[in-house]
Homo-oligomer: A and B are copies of this chain.
Amino acid sequence: MTRAYNFCAGPATLPESVLRQARDEMLDWRGTGMSVMEMSHRSDEFVEIAETAEKDLRELAGVSDDYAVLFMQGGASSQFSTIPLNLLGDKGSADYVNTGIWSKKAIAEASRYGKVNVAASSEDSGFTTIPDQASWQTNADAAYLHYTPNETIGGLEFDFIPESPSVPLVADMSSTMLSRPVDVSKFGLIYAGAQKNIGPSGLVVVIIRKDLLGKARKETPTMMNYQVIADNGSMYNTPATYSWYLAGLTFQWLKGQGGVTAMGEVNLRKARKLYGFIDTNDFYANPIDPRFRSWMNVPFTLADDALNGEFLKGANARGLLNLAGHRSVGGMRASIYNAMPEAGVDALIEYMTEFAKERG
Protein backbone atom coordinates (compact mmCIF):
# COMPACT_ATOMS: atom_id res chain seq x y z
CA MET A 1 0.00 0.00 0.00
CA THR A 2 1.07 3.59 -0.50
CA ARG A 3 -0.07 6.16 2.04
CA ALA A 4 -3.51 5.43 3.46
CA TYR A 5 -6.06 7.84 4.86
CA ASN A 6 -5.64 7.27 8.56
CA PHE A 7 -8.56 8.47 10.69
CA CYS A 8 -6.98 7.44 14.00
CA ALA A 9 -7.79 9.68 16.98
CA GLY A 10 -4.19 9.66 18.15
CA PRO A 11 -1.45 8.92 17.49
CA ALA A 12 -2.77 10.38 14.29
CA THR A 13 -1.83 10.96 10.70
CA LEU A 14 0.96 13.48 10.11
CA PRO A 15 1.53 15.66 7.06
CA GLU A 16 3.21 13.54 4.40
CA SER A 17 5.74 16.28 3.69
CA VAL A 18 6.79 16.24 7.35
CA LEU A 19 7.40 12.51 7.22
CA ARG A 20 9.31 12.86 3.95
CA GLN A 21 11.57 15.50 5.42
CA ALA A 22 12.13 13.44 8.57
CA ARG A 23 12.96 10.46 6.38
CA ASP A 24 15.40 12.42 4.23
CA GLU A 25 17.15 13.86 7.29
CA MET A 26 17.19 10.62 9.28
CA LEU A 27 20.85 9.69 8.87
CA ASP A 28 22.38 13.11 8.41
CA TRP A 29 20.74 16.35 9.48
CA ARG A 30 21.96 19.07 7.13
CA GLY A 31 25.49 17.83 6.79
CA THR A 32 26.14 17.30 10.49
CA GLY A 33 26.67 13.57 10.03
CA MET A 34 24.06 12.88 12.72
CA SER A 35 20.37 12.20 13.01
CA VAL A 36 18.50 14.78 15.07
CA MET A 37 17.82 12.02 17.59
CA GLU A 38 21.58 11.57 18.06
CA MET A 39 22.27 15.23 18.82
CA SER A 40 23.09 16.59 22.22
CA HIS A 41 20.07 18.56 23.39
CA ARG A 42 22.54 21.31 24.34
CA SER A 43 24.23 21.47 20.94
CA ASP A 44 23.90 24.62 18.85
CA GLU A 45 22.09 22.60 16.20
CA PHE A 46 19.43 21.19 18.47
CA VAL A 47 18.96 24.41 20.43
CA GLU A 48 18.22 26.11 17.11
CA ILE A 49 15.71 23.40 16.19
CA ALA A 50 14.06 23.75 19.60
CA GLU A 51 13.96 27.53 19.62
CA THR A 52 12.64 27.71 16.07
CA ALA A 53 9.84 25.31 17.00
CA GLU A 54 8.89 27.45 19.98
CA LYS A 55 9.03 30.64 17.91
CA ASP A 56 6.85 29.10 15.20
CA LEU A 57 4.35 27.83 17.75
CA ARG A 58 4.16 31.27 19.36
CA GLU A 59 3.58 32.83 15.97
CA LEU A 60 0.98 30.26 14.88
CA ALA A 61 -1.01 30.30 18.11
CA GLY A 62 -0.47 33.97 18.90
CA VAL A 63 1.32 33.44 22.21
CA SER A 64 2.66 36.61 23.80
CA ASP A 65 5.70 37.01 26.02
CA ASP A 66 3.38 36.93 29.03
CA TYR A 67 3.38 33.16 28.56
CA ALA A 68 6.02 30.46 28.86
CA VAL A 69 5.91 27.65 26.31
CA LEU A 70 7.03 24.29 27.70
CA PHE A 71 7.86 21.08 25.85
CA MET A 72 7.25 18.37 28.44
CA GLN A 73 6.81 14.60 28.54
CA GLY A 74 4.13 12.23 29.82
CA GLY A 75 1.18 13.31 27.72
CA ALA A 76 -1.95 15.12 28.85
CA SER A 77 -2.50 12.41 31.48
CA SER A 78 0.59 13.58 33.35
CA GLN A 79 -0.76 17.11 33.21
CA PHE A 80 -3.88 15.92 35.02
CA SER A 81 -1.70 15.73 38.17
CA THR A 82 0.82 18.41 37.21
CA ILE A 83 -1.86 21.09 37.02
CA PRO A 84 -3.32 20.71 40.53
CA LEU A 85 0.15 20.18 41.99
CA ASN A 86 1.26 23.49 40.50
CA LEU A 87 -1.86 25.60 40.60
CA LEU A 88 -4.00 24.59 43.57
CA GLY A 89 -1.75 26.54 45.93
CA ASP A 90 -3.38 27.87 49.06
CA LYS A 91 -6.83 27.82 47.52
CA GLY A 92 -7.16 24.07 47.77
CA SER A 93 -10.04 23.81 45.33
CA ALA A 94 -10.64 24.12 41.60
CA ASP A 95 -13.65 24.24 39.29
CA TYR A 96 -13.96 21.62 36.54
CA VAL A 97 -16.46 21.33 33.72
CA ASN A 98 -17.46 17.77 32.90
CA THR A 99 -18.20 17.22 29.23
CA GLY A 100 -16.99 13.67 28.68
CA ILE A 101 -14.45 10.96 29.26
CA TRP A 102 -11.37 13.20 29.23
CA SER A 103 -12.97 15.76 31.56
CA LYS A 104 -13.76 12.94 33.95
CA LYS A 105 -10.20 11.67 33.92
CA ALA A 106 -8.91 15.17 34.65
CA ILE A 107 -11.43 15.52 37.49
CA ALA A 108 -10.56 12.14 39.00
CA GLU A 109 -6.87 12.93 39.13
CA ALA A 110 -7.32 16.48 40.46
CA SER A 111 -9.59 15.13 43.21
CA ARG A 112 -6.58 13.31 44.61
CA TYR A 113 -4.91 16.64 45.37
CA GLY A 114 -7.71 18.93 46.46
CA LYS A 115 -11.39 19.72 46.35
CA VAL A 116 -12.90 19.61 42.89
CA ASN A 117 -16.11 21.49 42.28
CA VAL A 118 -17.85 20.23 39.16
CA ALA A 119 -19.16 23.58 38.02
CA ALA A 120 -21.17 22.12 35.15
CA SER A 121 -21.79 18.75 33.56
CA SER A 122 -23.48 17.48 30.46
CA GLU A 123 -23.46 13.88 31.69
CA ASP A 124 -27.29 13.86 31.89
CA SER A 125 -27.45 14.39 28.15
CA GLY A 126 -24.98 11.58 27.50
CA PHE A 127 -22.39 14.26 26.82
CA THR A 128 -24.12 15.38 23.65
CA THR A 129 -24.17 19.08 24.46
CA ILE A 130 -22.42 21.82 26.44
CA PRO A 131 -24.28 23.44 29.33
CA ASP A 132 -24.87 27.15 28.84
CA GLN A 133 -22.36 29.09 30.86
CA ALA A 134 -25.12 31.04 32.61
CA SER A 135 -25.97 27.81 34.47
CA TRP A 136 -22.42 27.04 35.68
CA GLN A 137 -21.85 27.00 39.44
CA THR A 138 -18.34 28.42 39.63
CA ASN A 139 -16.54 29.58 42.76
CA ALA A 140 -14.89 32.97 42.87
CA ASP A 141 -12.12 31.56 45.07
CA ALA A 142 -11.32 28.52 42.92
CA ALA A 143 -7.63 28.17 42.07
CA TYR A 144 -8.57 27.72 38.41
CA LEU A 145 -11.38 26.70 36.06
CA HIS A 146 -10.60 23.63 33.95
CA TYR A 147 -12.42 22.49 30.84
CA THR A 148 -11.87 20.30 27.80
CA PRO A 149 -12.51 22.35 24.65
CA ASN A 150 -12.75 19.21 22.53
CA GLU A 151 -13.70 15.76 23.81
CA THR A 152 -11.76 13.42 21.54
CA ILE A 153 -13.88 10.37 22.29
CA GLY A 154 -17.31 11.99 22.42
CA GLY A 155 -16.75 14.34 19.50
CA LEU A 156 -18.08 17.31 21.49
CA GLU A 157 -16.44 20.69 21.05
CA PHE A 158 -16.96 24.09 22.65
CA ASP A 159 -17.76 26.81 20.15
CA PHE A 160 -16.99 29.46 22.75
CA ILE A 161 -14.31 30.26 25.30
CA PRO A 162 -15.79 30.37 28.78
CA GLU A 163 -15.71 33.75 30.47
CA SER A 164 -13.50 33.62 33.53
CA PRO A 165 -12.36 37.11 34.35
CA SER A 166 -11.05 36.46 37.87
CA VAL A 167 -10.06 32.78 37.89
CA PRO A 168 -7.36 31.40 35.54
CA LEU A 169 -8.85 29.34 32.75
CA VAL A 170 -7.14 26.00 32.10
CA ALA A 171 -7.82 23.98 28.95
CA ASP A 172 -6.94 20.52 27.70
CA MET A 173 -6.55 21.32 24.02
CA SER A 174 -4.96 17.99 23.08
CA SER A 175 -7.28 17.36 20.17
CA THR A 176 -8.08 20.89 19.06
CA MET A 177 -4.80 22.76 19.44
CA LEU A 178 -3.87 24.70 16.29
CA SER A 179 -6.99 23.54 14.45
CA ARG A 180 -8.49 27.05 14.39
CA PRO A 181 -7.69 30.50 15.80
CA VAL A 182 -7.96 30.77 19.59
CA ASP A 183 -7.40 33.84 21.75
CA VAL A 184 -4.64 32.53 24.01
CA SER A 185 -4.78 35.67 26.18
CA LYS A 186 -8.04 34.39 27.69
CA PHE A 187 -6.26 31.43 29.23
CA GLY A 188 -4.06 30.87 32.26
CA LEU A 189 -2.82 27.53 30.97
CA ILE A 190 -3.28 25.51 27.79
CA TYR A 191 -1.93 21.98 27.41
CA ALA A 192 -1.95 19.56 24.51
CA GLY A 193 -0.63 16.06 24.00
CA ALA A 194 1.23 16.25 20.71
CA GLN A 195 -0.11 13.14 19.02
CA LYS A 196 -3.05 14.79 17.23
CA ASN A 197 -2.17 18.11 15.59
CA ILE A 198 1.44 18.57 16.66
CA GLY A 199 3.61 15.50 16.23
CA PRO A 200 4.33 12.09 17.71
CA SER A 201 3.27 10.92 21.16
CA GLY A 202 5.70 11.40 23.99
CA LEU A 203 5.52 15.17 23.94
CA VAL A 204 3.06 17.51 25.60
CA VAL A 205 3.03 21.25 24.96
CA VAL A 206 2.14 23.56 27.84
CA ILE A 207 1.45 27.28 27.43
CA ILE A 208 1.33 28.92 30.85
CA ARG A 209 0.88 32.55 31.89
CA LYS A 210 4.07 33.48 33.69
CA ASP A 211 2.35 34.76 36.82
CA LEU A 212 1.13 31.19 37.44
CA LEU A 213 4.68 29.85 37.69
CA GLY A 214 6.38 29.32 41.02
CA LYS A 215 3.35 28.11 42.96
CA ALA A 216 4.05 24.36 42.98
CA ARG A 217 3.31 22.38 46.10
CA LYS A 218 6.24 21.18 48.12
CA GLU A 219 5.78 17.53 47.15
CA THR A 220 5.66 18.23 43.40
CA PRO A 221 8.19 16.05 41.56
CA THR A 222 10.83 18.39 40.17
CA MET A 223 10.13 17.17 36.65
CA MET A 224 6.51 18.32 37.09
CA ASN A 225 7.37 21.77 38.44
CA TYR A 226 6.45 24.31 35.76
CA GLN A 227 8.83 26.89 37.21
CA VAL A 228 11.78 24.51 36.97
CA ILE A 229 10.90 23.48 33.43
CA ALA A 230 10.42 27.12 32.38
CA ASP A 231 13.64 28.27 34.03
CA ASN A 232 15.54 25.60 32.12
CA GLY A 233 13.97 26.15 28.71
CA SER A 234 12.37 22.68 28.93
CA MET A 235 15.85 21.20 29.28
CA TYR A 236 16.04 20.54 33.01
CA ASN A 237 16.73 17.02 31.85
CA THR A 238 17.04 15.60 28.35
CA PRO A 239 13.78 16.44 26.59
CA ALA A 240 12.10 14.28 23.95
CA THR A 241 14.34 15.78 21.30
CA TYR A 242 13.13 13.90 18.26
CA SER A 243 9.48 14.57 19.04
CA TRP A 244 10.29 18.23 19.54
CA TYR A 245 11.98 18.30 16.11
CA LEU A 246 8.98 16.65 14.48
CA ALA A 247 6.66 19.14 16.16
CA GLY A 248 8.83 21.87 14.66
CA LEU A 249 8.47 20.37 11.20
CA THR A 250 4.70 20.27 11.67
CA PHE A 251 4.66 23.91 12.72
CA GLN A 252 6.62 24.79 9.58
CA TRP A 253 4.15 22.84 7.49
CA LEU A 254 1.24 24.61 9.15
CA LYS A 255 2.78 27.99 8.44
CA GLY A 256 3.10 26.92 4.81
CA GLN A 257 -0.61 26.11 4.80
CA GLY A 258 -1.39 29.67 5.83
CA GLY A 259 -1.46 29.18 9.61
CA VAL A 260 -4.40 28.46 11.88
CA THR A 261 -6.82 30.85 10.18
CA ALA A 262 -6.46 29.14 6.81
CA MET A 263 -6.37 25.74 8.51
CA GLY A 264 -9.52 26.57 10.46
CA GLU A 265 -11.34 27.28 7.21
CA VAL A 266 -10.28 23.95 5.73
CA ASN A 267 -11.21 22.15 8.96
CA LEU A 268 -14.63 23.77 9.06
CA ARG A 269 -15.22 22.78 5.44
CA LYS A 270 -14.11 19.18 6.09
CA ALA A 271 -16.36 18.92 9.16
CA ARG A 272 -19.38 20.49 7.46
CA LYS A 273 -19.03 18.11 4.53
CA LEU A 274 -18.91 15.04 6.72
CA TYR A 275 -21.66 16.06 9.15
CA GLY A 276 -23.76 17.30 6.24
CA PHE A 277 -23.48 13.92 4.58
CA ILE A 278 -24.28 12.06 7.82
CA ASP A 279 -27.34 14.23 8.47
CA THR A 280 -28.78 13.75 5.01
CA ASN A 281 -28.20 10.01 4.83
CA ASP A 282 -30.66 7.85 6.77
CA PHE A 283 -28.11 5.09 7.27
CA TYR A 284 -25.70 7.13 9.43
CA ALA A 285 -26.21 9.20 12.56
CA ASN A 286 -24.29 11.50 14.88
CA PRO A 287 -25.85 12.21 18.27
CA ILE A 288 -24.16 15.50 19.12
CA ASP A 289 -25.97 18.85 19.37
CA PRO A 290 -25.10 20.39 15.98
CA ARG A 291 -23.81 23.55 17.59
CA PHE A 292 -21.18 21.60 19.52
CA ARG A 293 -20.03 19.07 17.01
CA SER A 294 -16.28 18.59 16.98
CA TRP A 295 -14.38 19.73 13.92
CA MET A 296 -11.72 17.15 14.73
CA ASN A 297 -13.44 13.94 15.85
CA VAL A 298 -16.61 12.81 14.13
CA PRO A 299 -18.29 9.83 15.78
CA PHE A 300 -21.08 8.18 13.86
CA THR A 301 -23.19 5.07 13.99
CA LEU A 302 -24.56 2.80 11.29
CA ALA A 303 -28.27 2.05 11.20
CA ASP A 304 -27.40 -1.54 12.07
CA ASP A 305 -24.52 -2.21 14.48
CA ALA A 306 -24.25 -5.72 13.09
CA LEU A 307 -22.76 -4.19 9.95
CA ASN A 308 -19.91 -2.47 11.79
CA GLY A 309 -17.42 -5.24 11.08
CA GLU A 310 -18.23 -5.30 7.41
CA PHE A 311 -18.05 -1.50 7.21
CA LEU A 312 -14.59 -1.46 8.78
CA LYS A 313 -13.35 -4.28 6.59
CA GLY A 314 -14.46 -2.53 3.42
CA ALA A 315 -12.94 0.73 4.63
CA ASN A 316 -9.60 -0.93 5.37
CA ALA A 317 -9.59 -2.48 1.91
CA ARG A 318 -9.81 1.03 0.46
CA GLY A 319 -7.10 2.43 2.67
CA LEU A 320 -9.53 4.24 4.99
CA LEU A 321 -8.02 3.21 8.31
CA ASN A 322 -8.84 3.33 12.01
CA LEU A 323 -12.50 4.23 11.75
CA ALA A 324 -13.60 2.11 14.72
CA GLY A 325 -14.97 4.17 17.60
CA HIS A 326 -13.24 4.24 20.97
CA ARG A 327 -13.52 0.90 22.77
CA SER A 328 -15.57 2.61 25.49
CA VAL A 329 -18.32 3.81 23.15
CA GLY A 330 -18.27 1.62 20.03
CA GLY A 331 -19.62 2.75 16.67
CA MET A 332 -17.37 4.62 14.31
CA ARG A 333 -15.20 7.71 14.62
CA ALA A 334 -13.40 9.63 11.92
CA SER A 335 -10.70 11.90 13.29
CA ILE A 336 -10.00 14.59 10.74
CA TYR A 337 -7.16 16.61 12.20
CA ASN A 338 -5.14 19.24 10.37
CA ALA A 339 -3.07 16.63 8.56
CA MET A 340 -6.08 14.81 7.10
CA PRO A 341 -6.46 16.19 3.60
CA GLU A 342 -9.88 17.18 2.35
CA ALA A 343 -9.50 14.41 -0.24
CA GLY A 344 -9.50 11.93 2.64
CA VAL A 345 -12.87 13.19 3.81
CA ASP A 346 -14.16 13.01 0.23
CA ALA A 347 -12.94 9.42 -0.08
CA LEU A 348 -14.63 8.53 3.21
CA ILE A 349 -17.93 10.07 2.14
CA GLU A 350 -17.73 8.26 -1.18
CA TYR A 351 -17.23 4.95 0.59
CA MET A 352 -19.99 5.66 3.12
CA THR A 353 -22.35 6.53 0.27
CA GLU A 354 -21.67 3.27 -1.54
CA PHE A 355 -21.84 1.19 1.63
CA ALA A 356 -25.23 2.69 2.56
CA LYS A 357 -26.53 2.04 -0.92
CA GLU A 358 -25.43 -1.58 -0.95
CA ARG A 359 -26.21 -2.52 2.64
CA GLY A 360 -28.66 0.12 3.83
Binding site for B on A (CB under 8 A): 1-4, 6, 8-14, 16, 19-20, 22-23, 26-28, 31-35, 37-43, 73-78, 80-82, 85, 109, 112-113, 193, 195, 199-203, 218-219, 221-224, 236-243, 246, 319, 321-322, 327
Chain B residue, CB-CB nearest to A243: B202
Chain B proximity of A45: nearest CB distance (Å):
10
CA distance A174 to B19 in the complex (A): 29
CA distance A28 to B35 in the complex (A): 20
Chain B proximity of A336: nearest CB distance (Å):
14
Q: Which of B37, B74, B221 contacts A11 (CB 8 A)?
A: B37
CA distance A14 to B38 in the complex (A): 7
Are the C-beta atoms of A319 and B33 separated by less than 8 Å? yes
Q: State the oligomeric state as a number of copies.
A: 2
Residues of B within 8 Å of A203, CB to CB, are: 202
CB within 8 Å for A37 and B14 given contacts A73-B202, A223-B74, A242-B243: yes
Are the C-beta atoms of B26 and A322 separated by less than 8 Å? no
Residues of B within 8 Å of A28, CB to CB, are: 1-3
Chain B proximity of A250: nearest CB distance (Å):
11
Chain B residue, CB-CB nearest to A203: B202
Are the C-beta atoms of A27 and B20 separated by less than 8 Å? yes
CA distance A42 to B324 in the complex (A): 12
Are the C-beta atoms of A41 and B201 separated by less than 8 Å? yes
Q: Which of B9, B23, B34, B327 contacts A27 (CB 8 A)?
A: B23
Per DSSP, are chain A's interface residues mostly helix, strand or loop, or mixed? loop
CA distance A237 to B82 in the complex (A): 15
Residues of B within 8 Å of A1, CB to CB, are: 28, 31-33
Are the C-beta atoms of B22 and A26 separated by less than 8 Å? yes
Chain B residue, CB-CB nearest to A222: B109
Chosen A-B contacts, 30 in total, with CB atoms closer than 8 Å, are A2-B28, A4-B32, A4-B34, A8-B43, A10-B238, A11-B38, A11-B40, A19-B35, A23-B27, A26-B26, A34-B321, A37-B200, A37-B246, A41-B201, A43-B322, A73-B75, A74-B74, A77-B223, A77-B237, A78-B223, A81-B221, A81-B223, A109-B222, A112-B222, A200-B240, A201-B238, A201-B240, A202-B242, A202-B243, A240-B243
Are the C-beta atoms of A239 and B202 separated by less than 8 Å? yes
CA distance A107 to B56 in the complex (A): 38
Residues of B within 8 Å of A10, CB to CB, are: 40, 238
Chain B proximity of A230: nearest CB distance (Å):
16
Are the C-beta atoms of A200 and B43 separated by less than 8 Å? no
CA distance A77 to B72 in the complex (A): 13
Chain B residue, CB-CB nearest to A199: B37
Are the C-beta atoms of B222 and A39 separated by less than 8 Å? no
CA distance A22 to B24 in the complex (A): 11
Residues of B within 8 Å of A239, CB to CB, are: 201-202
Are the C-beta atoms of A222 and B27 separated by less than 8 Å? no
Q: Which of B41, B195, B241 contacts A238 (CB 8 A)?
A: B195
Are the C-beta atoms of A27 and B3 separated by less than 8 Å? yes
